[in-house]
Amino acid sequence: MDTIIRVDASVEIGTGHVMRCLTLAHRLKKDGQQVAFICRGAKGECITLIEQQGFVVYNLPPCDGSLWNFVAEYWEKDAYETIEILKQYTVTKLIIDHYSIDIKWEQSVRPFVKSIMVIDDLANRNHDCDILLDQNFYLDMDTRYDGLVPSSTKMLLGPSHALLRDEFLEARNHIKPFNGRVERLFIFFGGSDPTNETEKVLRVIIPILEKYDLNVDVVVGDSNSNKKQIKELVLAYDRIHYHCQINNIAELMAKADLSIGAGGATIWERVFLRLPSIVIAVAKNQVEVAKAVSSTGAIMYLGVSNEIIYSQVLTNIELLYKNSDELGHMKNCCENLIL
């Protein structure tokens, strides 16, 4: 086996880790490598989705409660169960994308693989890895892992290493020409959106759709527990188009003039497509990145979801609707950031 990827998804963790690992897996597969996944079952997991995309998934026994806490607390059990799978193969590379895994786990599995790659963006724990990938932009990007990884570790840092699916590379050739107007909104808060930011934003903007002649594409993941009520909410509005677990999200982004969403990995999808965005952090680990990207002018960062007043969303939409120079400036900042 060339590569095995250890990654999880759940309602709590979200789907972003799995989605970026799938992007990497498809690239490796295209290069002729054999790729498999190791995942632990949980509410909101993506095991079926991974299998549907043509990859073998080795299932670790599911846990009750917080998957994040389980892997951190019972890391020796998680490492042992992973090793039992690794021992069946000669594994060239183990890729780990998991906030609950650190140097202890990595040192335990090290004898059973030839190399270890870690995908991280927290820089809050030590790693034993040969390669570390952090695709995010930080003001201290070049130094934030100092002392956390071996000096020999190959560092892949910044948005130039962003894991973007082929559909985004293709969609960049079809970005809507800039006309200075906000005519189409794109709303997406990740695959699970556990705090239901999608519905909160929709209820704020629905009253202005006719006033500003706006059309809206709203995307939800299959693991979104509120998807039914969101669909029912928007059915009465011809200007809102509901999409669930789609494969053409890049196409929708390329048609949009403005996006409203979370501060996770989709920041780089939007930036790559030069799509100005209003960002609301839905997890603590999104805050630092959102602030740093906001400082470049590429996004408007409003704050953490449980602290903001949602009328701010409306205020910023109206600001950009009336100010084509600011909208154009944001697009240019996106272009500069991804280079």
Per-domain boundaries in the chain: 3-163, 167-338
Identify the residue whose tokens are 């498809």.
Answer: 26
Sheet holding 258-261, edge to edge: 240-244, 215-220, 184-188, 258-261, 277-281, 299-304
Q: What is the pLDDT of residue 64?
A: 81
Asked if CATH classification 3.30.365.10 holds for the domain at 3-163, the reply, yes or no, is no
Burial class from Cβ neighbours inside 10 Å (0-12, 13-18, 19+) for residue 314 reads middle
What CATH class is the domain 167-338? alpha beta
CA-to-CA separations, 21 to 39, 61, 108, in angstroms, rounded: 12, 21, 22
How far apart CA 113 and CA 90 sit, in angstroms, is: 7
Amino acid 339: pLDDT: 67
Q: In this predicted structure, what is the pLDDT of residue 255?
A: 97
Backbone φ, ψ for residue 294 (5° rounding): -60, -35
pLDDT of residue 314: 92
What is the predicted pLDDT for the residue at 14? 85
Whole-model pTM?
0.85
pLDDT for 330: 97
Q: Which among 305, 287, 285 has a CA at the least distance from the CA of 99?
A: 285
Query: Over its length of 339 residues, how does the chain's per-residue pLDDT go in tens digits?
Result: 799 999 999 988 888 899 999 999 999 999 999 999 999 999 888 999 999 999 999 999 998 889 989 999 999 999 999 999 999 999 999 999 999 999 999 999 999 999 999 999 999 999 999 999 999 999 899 999 999 999 999 999 999 999 999 999 999 999 999 999 999 999 999 888 989 999 999 999 999 998 999 999 999 998 899 999 999 999 999 999 999 999 899 999 999 999 999 998 899 999 999 999 999 999 888 999 999 999 999 999 999 999 999 889 999 999 999 999 999 999 999 999 886
Q: Give the Cα separation of 135 and 125 in Å (integer).
A: 17
Q: What is the pLDDT of residue 202?
A: 96
pLDDT reported for residue 137:
92
For position 2, what pLDDT does the model report? 94
The reply to whether 167-338 shares the fold of 3-163 is: yes
